[in-house]
Structure formats: structure tokens, C-alpha cells
Amino acid sequence: MSRRLRSPGPWNPGKTLIPEGLGAGLQLAIKAAVLVCALSSQSCLVPQSVDAIPVAPYPAPRFVLESIDKYLLPPIIELYRGGASDQSAKPPCHCRLDLAIPLIEEDDPTVSLEARWFVDYDPNVPRLSAILHRDPLDGTFDSTGTTLRTVITGPFPFDADQLGIFTDGIHVVDVVLAETAAFEISSTRPNRAIKAGYPSAEHRFVINVKVNPDPARPTCTAVPPSVAKVCQ
């Protein structure tokens, strides 16, 4: 069965769509021009409605917290540097903690991102404001989806000996994720400042380092989070 199309009816110049936001005088001039076209035999271009182009912020990258190993999710992660048998070994050994956030989400798959890792960040101390690990996450134009999931190229090895930590205490590891172009040079927040208009994401691991040997732990345990042994 064919379906008849309903006639739109006679054209009414009074209902011509005129862009909002124009001055009253300019609106009257447009209406007058439309009326002249309607009464004459000449063809005229009828003003169309113009939708404003929405101004959207840059899409924010996100850490997929569900991808992080559960033993790295407690508010405070315990790291035992090693047991008595580790420290008396030849060469001596110690435990290391490997930190990783395996997956991130980014709505725009073409955007190149970067993850920067810091330990006990202090903008006033060059050693503590230095980037200790950097993960470049290049964008791609080959993705057919709207969400890009990227494996972060960690893990970041939290090694108390390499970091110069030789006493018990709490230490903070920050991971900052943003577009590569979003990081800017700053004297007040070196290596971590983000340009205005660019969103970023941050995740924090809090590590409680136990340097002194624990009699109950004669060696690096195979139970996470202390899963790696370094001997040198």
C-alpha cells in the first residue's frame, strides 16, 4: 500500500526561522527581505536556523580501577624490604614492589596520552619532582570503537634501595595521566603541571616500607605484593 505524503501547506514568511541572538534591527531587516521575496516573482534564499556549535571540553582519560590487582588496592600497601636470610645472602637480596594500572579508558582513540610516576612528590625538591617512570600511550586512527583501552607499559618497580629509602616509613606514589600535549613547563609544579582546559587523572599508591628484618619473614615472600626479589 502506498502512503500519501501530506502537503506542507502554503509557505508563511512570518514563520521563517531567523537565527537567535541577532539585534532587533537586523531581525527586522531580514523579515522585510523575506516579505519582499514572498511578494515578488524572484527566487530568494530563505534564512535557515543555525544551531550553535557546542563547545565541549577535551575528553578526560580514566584509570580502570577494576584492572588493578586487588593486593594493590588497600589504603596502605605493606612492603617488607627483606628477611635476615636475604640480607645475609651473597650477594644480599631485598624485596621489590611492582606497581601497575593495566588499563585506562579514553573516549577519543586518536589522542596520545602519557602516564608519569612520582614518589613523594615535592615541587621544591628537584629529586622528588623528577619523573621516575614514564608511559607513552600513543593514539591510533585504526580503532573502530569509541573507547580506547590501552595497556600501561609498567610495572613501576618500587625499589626502596634504588630510591634511597633505608628507614621505616610511609611513602606516596602518584601516577598522573593526561594528553601528551597537556603537560606544560612550570616552576611551581615541575613535570606535573597541566595546561588550562586539559583534564587529567591521578591515582595514588601509599606504601608502608618496613626496612628492618622481620623474624616472621626470613625471606621475600611469594605472596603479593612483595613478589620480586632483587639480588646484587
Note down the domain range covering 197.
62-231
Q: Residues 41-79: pLDDT tens digits?
A: 555 555 555 555 555 456 688 999 999 999 899 999 988
Q: Flag the least confident range among 5-14, 158-167, 202-211.
A: 5-14
- Read off the pTM: 0.70
Q: Do residues 46 and 134 both lie within one domain?
A: no
At residue 16, the pLDDT reads 45
Q: Do residues 168 and 95 both lie within one domain?
A: yes
Is pLDDT at 176 greater than 50 in this prediction? yes
Q: Do residues 70 and 173 both lie within one domain?
A: yes
Q: Residues 1-56: pLDDT tens digits?
A: 433 333 444 444 444 444 554 455 555 555 555 555 555 555 555 555 555 555 54
Q: Do residues 68 and 49 both lie within one domain?
A: no
Q: Is residue 5 part of a domain?
A: no
Do residues 75 and 44 lie in contact, with contact meaning Cβ atoms separated by under 8 Å?
no
Q: Do residues 126 and 217 both lie within one domain?
A: yes
Q: Do residues 74 and 47 both lie within one domain?
A: no
Number of domains in the chain: 2
Q: Do residues 86 and 153 both lie within one domain?
A: yes
Q: Do residues 29 and 69 both lie within one domain?
A: no
